[in-house]
Chains A and B, each alone.
Chain A
Amino acid sequence: MVAYLSDTETADRVFAALADATRRDIVTRVLRDEASVSALAVKYAMSFAAVQKHVAVLERAGLVTKERHGREQLVRGDVDTVRAAARLLEQYEEIWLDRIGRLEQILAEPTGGDRP
């Protein structure tokens, strides 16, 4: 089975975390390359504490992991969680694919869907 977000609460946390543009950008960035919190603070012209807060939200949602590396804290994106989030959108599409499949069956009936 493809990675699903395990429950609604997790999904809520993931999407609440991704509802913020800065946090989305942080995730995209650290998926490509890990980055220290201080390097991110420079990138976004934000205080260390402000970035730290964003990272904490992302970490609770399981979208990034944080690892101490000497004096630095390195932030890395969690590919599985991001993939699971993308999968949610696909599922909305699947609802429509399924609907159209059923709709076609009705249209294919000789009576056009009238019950005999």
Chain B
Amino acid sequence: MTVVSMTRDPDALTLTVVAELAAPPSRVWQVWADPRRLERWWGPPTWPATFVAHDLRVGGGAAYYMTGPDGEKANGWWRFIAVEEPRLIEFEDGFADDAGVPDPAMPTTRARVELAETAGGTRMTVTSRFASTEQMEQLVAMGMEEGLRAAMAQIDGVLAEG
């Protein structure tokens, strides 16, 4: 496992994930910068992501949807705040309605992705910052749903194999 650490700071409302990756920063940059690569890892296998827009520059945005096992869609948007190839991407991450319009009632998080070159490749630090405890809780509660759905799908798969 290459995840080095995962730190929750309830006071600062941040979750920081540090991973050591066996590829240089330029390659890691591509998995964020290229929407075709990005959509292969952003959503779980049961909720794959499709990026319909991805404009990686300050002020630019991305739009994507995730498709559930029953064909239901969950829409999301990003807005890029900082882009410094190949070491920094910072963006706001929120939910959108069925038409892809940002939903102000849903929580918005801010993600800061830092890529640092190491002897073995890249150290990637992703810091997710929540706007409030309530938002953190709301998001986590939705993460739970996603996790439950994924678990159910796995059980279904095992049952189908007999």
Report whether A91 and B140 are in contact in the complex, using a CB–CB cutoff of 8 Å.
yes
- Is chain A's interface secondary structure helix, strand, loop, or mixed overall? helix
Q: Which residues from chain A contact B42 at a C-beta distance below 8 Å?
A: 99
- Kindly provide the distance from the CB of B139 to the nearest chain A CB, expressed in whole angstroms: 7
Contact-size category for A: 20 to 34
Q: Could you show 30 A-B contacts with beta carbons less than 8 Å apart? A: A1-B151, A4-B144, A12-B141, A19-B137, A88-B140, A88-B143, A91-B143, A91-B147, A92-B15, A92-B139, A92-B140, A93-B6, A94-B147, A95-B44, A95-B147, A96-B6, A96-B17, A96-B126, A98-B44, A100-B2, A100-B19, A100-B124, A102-B41, A103-B31, A104-B2, A106-B40, A112-B23, A113-B36, A113-B40, A115-B36
Q: Which residues from chain A contact B23 at a C-beta distance below 8 Å?
A: 107, 112
Which residue of A8, A12, A99 is within 8 Å of B41 (Cβ)? A99
Q: Considering the chains assembled together, what is the distance between the CA atoms of A96 and B146 in angstroms? A: 13
> A31 at interface (Cβ–Cβ under 8 A)?
no
> B118 at interface (Cβ–Cβ under 8 A)?
no
Interface residues in chain B, defined as those with a beta carbon under 8 Å from any beta carbon in chain A: 2-3, 6, 8, 15, 17, 19, 21-23, 27-28, 30-31, 34, 36-37, 40-42, 44, 124, 126, 133-134, 137-141, 143-148, 151
Which residue of B30, B139, B141 is within 8 Å of A113 (Cβ)? B30
Report whether B141 and A88 are in contact in the complex, using a CB–CB cutoff of 8 Å.
yes
Q: Which residues from chain A contact B28 at a C-beta distance below 8 Å?
A: 107
Given contacts A100-B2, A104-B2, A107-B21, contact A89 B140 (CB under 8 A): yes
Q: Which residues from chain B contact A100 at a C-beta distance below 8 Å?
A: 2-3, 17, 19, 124
Binary per-residue interface labels of chain A (4-31) against chain B in the complex, 1 for a CB within 8 Å, 0 otherwise = 1100100110010011000000000000
Name 12 extra pairs, CB < 8 A, besides A100-B17, A113-B40. Answer: A4-B148, A15-B134, A15-B140, A92-B15, A95-B44, A96-B15, A96-B17, A100-B124, A103-B21, A104-B21, A105-B41, A106-B40
Q: Which residues from chain A contact B41 at a C-beta distance below 8 Å?
A: 99, 102-103, 105-106
- Kindly provide the distance from the CB of B54 to the nearest chain A CB, expressed in whole angstroms: 15
Q: Considering the chains assembled together, what is the distance between the CA atoms of A94 and B2 in angstroms? A: 14
